[in-house]
Structure 1
């Protein structure tokens, strides 16, 4: 088993370009696994963890409802935003500046073969990171992602998640609002869930701007422990 994970920070990058890049890494891992089975080979499969920040974009998962996007094409253009239907699970979400997006592209056979556990550990990584900022974040039953004040009228999501997995290889991932412009969430019904708000770390802490590099370091520290991984 190979628990070495190649870390790549892609910086500020177009959503479609990043999606294509993810697909390439994903295909490389799957192709290696197919070759191993066909030829009874023992080639190691790679694991990747991508950080990226996207320009304003809305993405709709394969099981999502297009009516949860509240803008037409002209309105999208006026807001400087793009829209894509994509191949992850989940409904509609927003990505944009001030949001830390993480795409772990892992061969789970290097770790454990359990998608449910994979999602719970990603959530735990976020929960532990937010705990370091004094926030009590938690899961909301039946709703993937990380929330604050679950079970109250003030419940609000701070991190969305949606993944795709095939042959135990993952792609897509999580989007943690750190210094996000929450106004862009008003143009969708986030994750198809009505009546629940969205928040950002800087809003919760009452600060103008949070150091995103520091947040990334905390996320990676918790990922390493939870997945017993090593970054290169």
Structure 2
């Protein structure tokens, strides 16, 4: 009797473990083919801010970079993804907003691992410490950083009249071009946009644009201005990083 009871309890424990892994590690999501590019979404890399969906502390970011290097990743700027069609293990790191810590903590690690990244600048954003022109120039000179636009004031485009939204996008592009010389790619603040804003971005001459959709998919003319990204979190463990890169999203 005791043996049967032990077997039942053990079976329940194993089942609970399996359900936990399925639920919390998104094993149930389909694996995405290795020739599809991984566009990774990041914001801050700061040791003085709590780890979160917005902040990946430097030691965790370095672990993530080490994993990418071990996978023999090819690092690309977001604007250059069309140069790597059907190439396996292509990764485009992207940082939204233009936090100062991108220079202080992310940039040294990007140099250490020779990893390219695109930083989307909200050129008149308030409430954060931002990159300064001298930081932007130094990062540009390294050849590892390219800058894109993220509106001037980090606004929800869906809440703006079309003319105002167009101006936010256009002026941010011009701001970035003054700071960095070029501006090829755009990121929608908060991931809020619709087909009207995709048309605006295309009309203004951007090569492509990224969203906050958590997915990995082939980039084509139909989604060139709404490219999904791989989600990240500052508390991800190595397995969750691997799953996110394989399937497009993690779950803590």
TM (normalized to structure 2)? Answer: 0.26
Higher strand share: 1
Higher helix share: 2
TM (normalized to structure 1)? Answer: 0.27
